[in-house]
A and B are shown apart, each in its own frame.
Chain A
Amino acid sequence: MSLLSTKGLSKNYAGLQAVNSVDFDLPEGQIRALIGPNGAGKTTFVGMLSGRIESSQGQVYFDGTDITGMPAHRRMGLGMAYTFQITSIFSKLSVHENVALAARRVIGGNNSQVRLRIKEVLNKVHLVDRADQIAGDLSYGHQRLLEIGMGLAQSPRLFILDEPTQGLAENEIDDFILLIQALSAETTVLLIEHNMDVVMRTANYITVLNFGETLAEGTPNEIRANQEVQAAYLGKN
């Protein structure tokens, strides 16, 4: 049973077809990477999944329910979590409060449970020692980790990560890969990623977008061997 699917999902920007009739199926428990050259429509596509961008045509289904017209905050309420391509945290609040805001929405007013969840999450993203720091004072890499932590704190059923490793150092990327691999037991992940090493090491399955359309889908090995994909990336015919 697929957790998330789209039928003929499209987006027009004043004549520019950013996403063109994409049929997409994401089974529960999978780590799916969404890749494609710059301007392929990845962020627009994911924006329509999360509700940040209104679709022009087509449907989005989450766990069998049509959520096409649903506002973003209600989609998050159904169990989606989303991290932004450009780091978006509450930079004037403490690391602890950042995660607390994410946890409280899901857990509610039970303070001891919220604290427990925060501790658990901060451990996972290695920010436990920095809980009292102001989030905006953290290094860039730590801010990215914090944002991932805010996603984890919601215990999402679907975790959408928009280029999470952008700007991370090599060792931070290794940590990130471990984090994502560990996640596969508890959540479904949709990962937009440019770093092919990350994609190949984390994803079970890959969807390639090009010019707003699905170019190919398959396992990492299939995608690696796919001529069309190579052409799209290297610009050959």
Chain B
Amino acid sequence: MSTAVRSSILHLSVLCLLATLFFILPEYHSGNIARILIMAVYAMGYNLLFGYTGLLSLGHALFFASGMYGLGLSIDHLGLSAAPAMLVGLFSALAISTIIGFLALRTSGVAFMIVTLMFAQAGYLTILLAGKYTRGDEGFVIKQSDRIIAGIDLSQADNRYFAALILFAIVFIFIGILVNTRFGKTLVAIRENSERARMLGYDIQRHKLIAIIISGSLSGVAGAAYALLFGYAGATFSTVQYSIYPLLWVLLGGAGTTIGPLIGTVFMTYLIDISSEYTSAYMLIAGLVLILLTLFAPQGLAGVLRKKFLPWLP
């Protein structure tokens, strides 16, 4: 069986499994998984830049929040309906990631991390300062009547689950295809040895910029979808914590694998969920597990799978 066939089977099986889970799991968990799927979209966007291109951003919350507020504000203040507001969310993130990419790519390495972090902080403060429109820290609720696309009420648990799954599926398949294109393979070459890639004649800066734009736009779509499906937009989502989350999910799940972001998001969400049932010091447990994983499985869970059992894992 060729690698492409295996990888298609893997991707489709994951999607089938997720669709089946809705009918098996109790409502609490299916609500959880809907949230996880949206966050996994965010993580997949992050992974394209970090896992495949090798650029470590500490400011992706800015892109997530761009999508979230692009959607939220255009519903709240412009009276747009959900579908066009989604597009506003997407284009806000696209525009902002283009500008940030353009500026941040003048730096590299640690400076790139600091610059992206600072831009995201500036974004967070802007949201607070524009409290008149954004309602700052408190955030605002998106009314149930505004959360309808094509007559489908996305505040209903089943609709929400499948809307999240469809978005996840689109992005999951998109990334699966993208990393196997010439462009995707060039990103890996840049991650592995950017000077060699440059001296093979590849325009490194252009590739990195496009990677930031795609990564930022996907993060923004996740932010917009989150606001739409869960009915809330708030400044918390633009804090540094939300820039760190996708990094942790991707590291745990396996950077540079298509399935890693989902695995990492599921793992970490349930780790916190389950450990918080037993102790209020659940972050201590999460921290310990993170340390153990970085020590013994630095390539993440999917990375270990790829190394030990499935070398074809995309």
Interface residues of A (CB under 8 A from B): 50, 52, 72-74, 76-77, 82, 84, 88-93, 97, 100-102, 104-106, 108-109, 150, 154
Contacts and interface: CB of A to CB of B under 8 A. Distances in A.
Interface of B (DSSP majority class): helix
For chain B, give the interface size range. Answer: 10 to 19
Interface string B173-188: 0000000001001101
A74 B202 CA distance: 8
Contacts of B196: 84, 88-90
B312 to A, nearest CB: 12
Contacts of A150: 200
A150 B189 CA distance: 13
B185 A101 contact: yes
B161 to A, nearest CB: 38
Contacts of B185: 97, 100-101, 104
Contact of A101 (B189, B195, B203, B204): B189
A14 B309 CA distance: 54
B200 to A, nearest CB: 5
B192 A90 contact: yes
B189 A90 contact: yes
Contact of A73 (B189, B193, B202): B202
A102 B185 CA distance: 11
B202 to A, nearest CB: 6
A76 B198 CA distance: 9
Given A72-B198, A76-B200, 13 more contacts: A73-B198, A73-B204, A88-B193, A88-B195, A88-B199, A90-B189, A91-B192, A93-B192, A97-B185, A101-B186, A102-B200, A109-B182, A154-B201
10 contacts: A72-B199, A73-B201, A74-B203, A84-B199, A89-B196, A90-B193, A90-B196, A93-B189, A101-B185, A150-B200
A48 B200 CA distance: 16
Contacts of B188: 93
Contacts of A92: 192
B197 interface: yes
Contacts of A88: 193, 195-196, 199
Nearest to A92: B192
A73 B182 contact: no
A74 B204 CA distance: 11
